[in-house]
Structure 1
Amino acid sequence: MYIPNSEINLPDNDTIVWKYMDLSKFLDMLLCRQLFMSRSDKFEDQYEGTFSEPTYEELKKLSENNQEFLNYHKHHRKNVVINSWHINEYESFAMWQIFTKNNEGLAIQSTIGRLQEALGPENRYNQYIGAVKYIDYKKEYVPLDNPFFPFLFKRKSFQYEREVRIISDLSDQNTYINEGVKTNVDIKKMIDKIYIHPKSENWYKNLVIQLMQQLGFDFEIEKSDLESDIFV
């Protein structure tokens, strides 16, 4: 489901989203039929799930006589898990560079609507979809009226990510989360098309096709055209 608040710009169901990954992670996802959701405080960005400076100052005032209020926000990050996707109508050269290596990665193409259907109502975790908003953390506020907001705002330096997130708060699960958790997903509903790394060899595409057939999937698989022939 979407996070219902006007502060977040939510894409419509037809919006195309991408996930770039290596083959081992992709196969693990197919075999388990699960998505991996990372613990929010394990991301490389140390500001992940934190508040902007103006919001933090407001938080300190609100917690002057209630230290637990501030402590809750400090520890909340350990209970929130995230799965990230990239919004783009087309492939992103930058995303290939960042999330794949050795010219052997691949990209899943989906849509917001497909993600919603694939997560389904029977999942054991409550999941929410929201688009990340990029702000100046020294000047702009992160709203306090929704516990998910700290995880849907990031610094402007990360605008290139164009990120949409699947988020779960596992505070009521009474379980220790190490690096993250896996959540059930309908793989066939989630994946629209698969793109093979633009610099990969033909044998790699054939390997992916063969693996899909052996696992009983018939996704459309294409070689990325970012490295297609130049017309002079």
Structure 2
Amino acid sequence: MEQERLDTFDNTLFSPPSDRSVKVWRYMDFTKFVALLNSGSLHLTRCDQFDDQFEGAFPEEDSQGQRDNYKDALINKARLMPDQLAQVLDTVWKKYQRQYMFINCWHMNSHESAALWNVYGATKEAIAIQTTYDRLRSVLPASYQIGAVRYIDHETYLNEEKEGFFSVMFKRKSFEHERELRVCYVDAYEFQQDVRNPAEFFCPTNARLVETVPVDLNTLVESVRIAPQTPDWFVKLVKDAVLRFGYNLPVSQSGRDDYPRL
């Protein structure tokens, strides 16, 4: 990808928030928390593994434009007949959107989210790790982009800036309450290698489901919060797990239920 193109992405989708110290949260169950401690890595999930089938999908106007970008290359390299071209182009671009993009999701909020505690805390054994934009950016390689999700109407939105390689940064307006910050990694090199080999590229699926990136958890994590109404034994278990894996992370229980419900 040309440097000018990368600079355009950095200045639009991946520009830092106005407050770089804004708090960001990642909610999870205890099993995933232990996996995080054990691996010392963030796991980015492949785009097509999420429940929302719009993940990584382009607005239709952009999707057609991106397919056109591959048209000449496929005609020349694969020697496709005109009647084969439309189907192949559609397969190529959908596969690129869905199987070569990996994301890791965070919630931007100055306070804990009652809604997210309810989602992850059904068993009262949920955990949230809290960091800031700056801390998150500092532990990731430059090839991993970070930006706030844009919430759009897929039927009417026209992406004039053609940020086509990062369609994962757009979600439907019905998710606007999530206030999501995303870490995004696009395996453009692997895609370019695979697309040159049609026999391999048109296999049913790319086998890799997760991209893993090692991070310094002591630098990343500002605090660990445990779900409200969690029993004392679970609070102790979380603190013991942090120490056992050799980390120095502040652990406390959420104080959300200390306040009267209005």
TM-score by length of 2: 0.77
Structure 2 residues without counterparts, runs of 5 or longer: 1-5, 75-84, 195-205
Question: Which of 214, 220, 223 pairs up with 2:244?
Answer: 214
Give the aligned partner of residue 202 of structure 2.
Answer: none
Once the two structures are TM-superposed, the CA of residue 6 in structure 1 deviates from its matched residue by 2.9
TM-align CA RMSD: 2.8
Query: Identity of counterpart residues, as a percentage?
Result: 30
Give the aligned partner of residue 165 of structure 1.
Answer: 182
With over 3 angstroms needed to count, the CA separation of the structure-2 counterparts of 1:177 and 1:169, relative to structure 1, is farther
Give the aligned partner of residue 198 of structure 1.
Answer: 228
Once the two structures are TM-superposed, the CA of residue 51 in structure 1 deviates from its matched residue by 1.1
Give the aligned partner of residue 115 of structure 1.
Answer: 136
Once the two structures are TM-superposed, the CA of residue 57 in structure 1 deviates from its matched residue by 5.2
Give the aligned partner of residue 12 of structure 2.
Answer: 6
Deviations 1:78-103 (A, max 9, x none): 01111111111110011112234311
With over 3 angstroms needed to count, the CA separation of the structure-2 counterparts of 1:185 and 1:177, relative to structure 1, is farther
TM-score by length of 1: 0.86
CA contact under 8 A between 1:114 and 1:190: conserved in structure 2?
yes
Question: Which of 20, 34, 37 pairs up with 2:41?
Answer: 34
CA contact under 8 A between 2:101 and 2:187: conserved in structure 1?
yes
Give the aligned partner of residue 151 of structure 2.
Answer: 134
Structure 1 residues without counterparts, runs of 5 or longer: none
With over 3 angstroms needed to count, the CA separation of the structure-2 counterparts of 1:56 and 1:28, relative to structure 1, is same
With over 3 angstroms needed to count, the CA separation of the structure-2 counterparts of 1:143 and 1:198, relative to structure 1, is farther
Deviations 1:101-123 (A, max 9, x none): 311011000011001111246xx
Question: Which of 71, 74, 77 pairs up with 2:94?
Answer: 74
Aligned positions of 1:38-117 closer than 5 A: 38-56=45-63, 58=65, 67=85, 70-76=90-96, 77-117=98-138
Which secondary structure does the structure 1 equivalent of 2:105 belong to?
Answer: strand
Give the aligned partner of residue 256 of structure 2.
Answer: 226
CA contact under 8 A between 1:20 and 1:100: conserved in structure 2?
no
Question: How many residues are matched?
Answer: 228
Give the aligned partner of residue 155 of structure 1.
Answer: 172
Once the two structures are TM-superposed, the CA of residue 203 in structure 1 deviates from its matched residue by 1.4
Equivalent-residue separation in structure 1 for 2:167 and 2:244 (angstroms): 42
Give the aligned partner of residue 178 of structure 1.
Answer: 208
With over 3 angstroms needed to count, the CA separation of the structure-2 counterparts of 1:29 and 1:164, relative to structure 1, is same
With over 3 angstroms needed to count, the CA separation of the structure-2 counterparts of 1:23 and 1:128, relative to structure 1, is same
CA contact under 8 A between 1:36 and 1:181: conserved in structure 2?
yes
Once the two structures are TM-superposed, the CA of residue 204 in structure 1 deviates from its matched residue by 0.9
Which secondary structure does the structure 2 equivalent of 1:89 belong to?
Answer: coil
> Greater share of helix residues, 1 or 2?
2
CA contact under 8 A between 1:19 and 1:109: conserved in structure 2?
yes
Which secondary structure does the structure 1 equivalent of 2:154 belong to?
Answer: coil
CA contact under 8 A between 2:151 and 2:173: conserved in structure 1?
yes
With over 3 angstroms needed to count, the CA separation of the structure-2 counterparts of 1:145 and 1:55, relative to structure 1, is closer
Which secondary structure does the structure 1 equivalent of 2:257 belong to?
Answer: coil
